[in-house]
Structures are given as C-alpha cells and as structure tokens.
Amino acid sequence: MIIAVDFDGTIVEDAYPMIGKPIPFAVDVLRKLANEEHHQLVLWTVRTGKQLDEAIEYCRENGVEFYAHNKLYPDEDEQNYFSRKLCADIFIDDRNVGGLPDWGLIYDMITKGKNWENAFELQNELPPKKRGLFEKMFG
C-alpha cells in the first residue's frame, strides 16, 4: 500500500517552521509499517527546501525512510512531473475530519483493514466481566 504521511502535527507536534516534540508512537508505527509490513511511505508535507530537508533528516535519524518526499516517485522532477495530486491508498494527517487518531489505532486500521467504526469497536473491546457469586445465584 502507498501511505502518504504529513509531518507537522502528525509525526511531531506542530511547531512549524521548527521541528516539534515527537508524537508518541508515530515513528514506531511508521518504522513497522515500512520495515515489517512493507508499505511504501511517502512524506507529504507543506515543508519545502531547508525545512523539508530537516524533516527528512529527523525521520531518518529516527529510523523512518520514506520512498519519496512531496511526490509519488523519488525521481520525479520538473521535467519528469506526473501530477501534483498524490495517488495514495491512505493519508495520515492531523487535519483529518475528527483529527489525528492515536497511532496504535492507526496501525490497527491499516493492518487489520478496519474503518473508523470498526477500529473504535476493536479499541474498546473489553474481556467479558466475571460474574460474582451473588450474580450467579440471583442473576
């Protein structure tokens, strides 16, 4: 799957043009998606130039390598330009309707093929409650 990932507010807290504090589990999930699940990650951010390079380096230092940055293919350039519209299977962005879910929920949604409703049900599943003696006797 091609997964487009925003940077500010998604991987790190939004502090643009600076790099914010890490969002818990973001790089862990991204590493797992790329290295173990073999998804193709594309960094899709408003950052360009020096700020983009800083974001790429931040991710690289934390073990996340992206297939491409602000484009669908690594060798895209102005002469070899495909489309500004990114064709990704999934977009992970803090500007989603409803905001950015927990990264554990994001991972479950991607790896288990769940939609929002199914993912929240999965997250809220609790083991069956044990009934005490009084409940067993008097129901």
- Summarised one tens digit per residue, pLDDT across range 54-108 is 999 999 999 999 999 887 655 555 555 555 667 888 999 999 877 888 898 899 8
pTM for the model stands at 0.77
Q: What percent of the chain has pLDDT over 70?
A: 74
- Of 3-7, 28-32, 96-100, 131-135, which range is least confident? 131-135
Task: Please state the domain extents for the chain.
Answer: 2-100
- Per CATH, the number for 2-100 is 3.40.50.1000
Quickly list DSSP for 112-126.
Answer: HT--HHHHHHHHT--
Nearest alpha-carbon partner for 29 in 110, 122, 104: 104
**Start-to-end Cα distance in the chain:** 50
